[in-house]
Amino acid sequence: MNPIIWATLISSLATSTIITMTSNHWLLAWLGLELNTLSILPLIMKPHHPRATEATTKYFLIQATAAAIILFATTTNAWHTGQWTITHTTPTTATLITIAIMLKLGLAPTHLWYPGVLQGSTLYTALIISTWQKIAPLTLLYLTHNHLNHTILLLIGLLSAAVGGMAGLNQTQTRKIMAFSSIAHMGWLITAMTMTPSLATLMMIIYLIMTTTMFTLLAST
């Protein structure tokens, strides 16, 4: 890939996450998520292989669906509350946003796309999808934490931990094992978030370090 194009994609990937993390306006947050999706698509598609094309299509459809749900939820929220501030969220909006973020993060029961996408990507792209791409959706969960339904979060978290653990045992392909490992870790992270957000932050940092190390080792061998 042309170094200029590569640099543009990586910088827009970084910028989009920062936009979502620093925004206090729902439309800006949504814009960041969309830019994030569009930046990673050419990176997944780079190896000219049918599996990479399939992974890109799956990723695009899932992320576009989740973004559409977020846009719908936030527009409804603005209609009810009269403002676009992230911290002012109605319970219905919070539930819809939780579902959309679960879809974006690949948590159970909306996890089936995730192993397929990782299997069709290169190891370094899979690393980006497993680490950097999870920061923006998780930030939205942190920002709306007080309005979220903790019972739903806890159920999703425990289900993801169980599904990730059980399904990972049945795999022979490295990237699929890593995908199910990621689903299980995200499950524990969401469970931690229902109790103490600071604990979830610590969990996230440990997860990022462990996953980066693992993928780097796999890529080098």
What local confidence, expressed as pLDDT, does residue 216 receive? 95
Cis peptide before 3 (omega within 30 of 0): no
Q: What pLDDT score does 147 carry?
A: 87
Place of tokens 């939780």: 98
The whole-number pLDDT of residue 129 equals 94
- Written as one letter, the residue type at 142 is Y
Q: What pLDDT score does 146 carry? A: 86
- Element (DSSP H or E) covering residue 134: helix 132-143
The answer to whether 118 touches 175, Cβ cutoff 8 Å, is: yes
DSSP β-bridge partners for residue 85: 25
What's the rounded Cα separation, in Å, for the pair 177 and 123? Answer: 13
Task: Flag whether pLDDT at 64 surpasses 80.
Answer: yes
Q: Looking at residue 170, what is its pLDDT?
A: 84
Q: Which amino acid is at 196?
A: T
- From 213, 209, 204, select the one nearest 185 (Cα to Cα): 204
* SS3 call for 172: coil
pLDDT in tens, 156-214: 999 999 999 999 998 899 999 999 999 999 999 999 999 888 999 999 999 999 999 99
pTM over 0.85: yes
Is a pLDDT exceeding 90 seen at residue 2?
no
Per-residue pLDDT tens for 81-139?
A: 888 998 888 889 999 999 999 999 999 888 999 999 999 999 999 999 999 999 999 99
Residue 1 has pLDDT above 80, yes or no: no
The residue among 197 and 70 whose pLDDT is bigger is 70
Q: How confident is the model at residue 145 (pLDDT cuts 50, 70, 90)?
A: confident
Nearest to 208 by CA among 129, 111, 155, 123: 129
* CA 90 centroid distance within chain: 23
User: What is the reported pLDDT for 87?
Assistant: 85
What pLDDT is recorded for position 71?
95
CB 120 within 8 A of CB 52: yes
pLDDT, average across residues 5-27: 93
Number of H helices, E strands in the chain: 10, 0
Q: Give me 135's structure tokens.
A: 């920061």
Instruction: Name every residue whose Cβ is closer than 8 Å to that of residue 194 and which is 6 or more positions away in sequence.
Output: 150, 153, 154, 157
Report how far residue 201's alpha carbon sits from residue 207's, in angstroms, rounded to the nearest whole number: 10
